[in-house]
Amino acid sequence: PDLKSNHEILAFLSSYADLGYFSTVIFIAVGTVLTLVVQSSSAAMALTLVMCYEGWIPFELAAAMVLGENIGTTITANLAALVGNVHAKRAAAAHFVFNIFGVIWMFLVFPFFIHGIGWYMNTYMDMHPFGSDALYNPEHIPIALSIFHSSFNILNVILLIGFVPFIAKTVERLIKSKGDDEDFTLEFIG
């Protein structure tokens, strides 16, 4: 959407910004739904950047939307896997489970993680002109959200890599094979 001329499309979300942890949950859900609607986590991230840059939502809630966008992109993969074989369905479900667990642990440490991002930007990137916080400077928001998104995904992999066998067994129990969809062969190429 053209947010410059129609900013009320998403600006109404700013009224939900002062509800504490409930705001975080709401904006995780908004990020998930937004990614489903636009069918692209990159486009949803661009909308999140615009909303935060324009001051409609604070950095913390933009970061919560990024978490939701991580969930939303897995739902798109699950929809695509509906017509696939059991391996495609299991891979998509594992992706979903992996990101859900990531969002859960991040939700538990969310304020500390946000504070850590701000500390990193102010300390190591020297982004504190005149003593202001880099997380609330519109020029630094794209960098801060990129650092948040990248560090979340890297830490999620580091924390959950040991649980891959458990996730695989869980997904195998949830998505049973019908017997005829185990083997994959090319249909038109010998």
Distance CA 117, CA 110 (A): 11
3-state secondary structure of 97: helix
Amino acid of residue 126: D
- Min mean pLDDT across 119-123, 133-137, 165-169 is at 133-137
On whether the CB atoms of residues 69 and 44 are closer than 8 A, the answer is yes
Q: What is the pLDDT of residue 68?
A: 93
Q: What is the pTM of this model?
A: 0.81
pLDDT tens across 84-110, in order?
788 888 999 999 999 999 999 999 999
Q: 108 to each of 24, 104, 144, 173, 184, how far by Cα in Å?
A: 11, 7, 20, 28, 40
Q: Give, rounded to a whole angstrom, the gap between the first and last alpha carbons of the chain.
A: 46
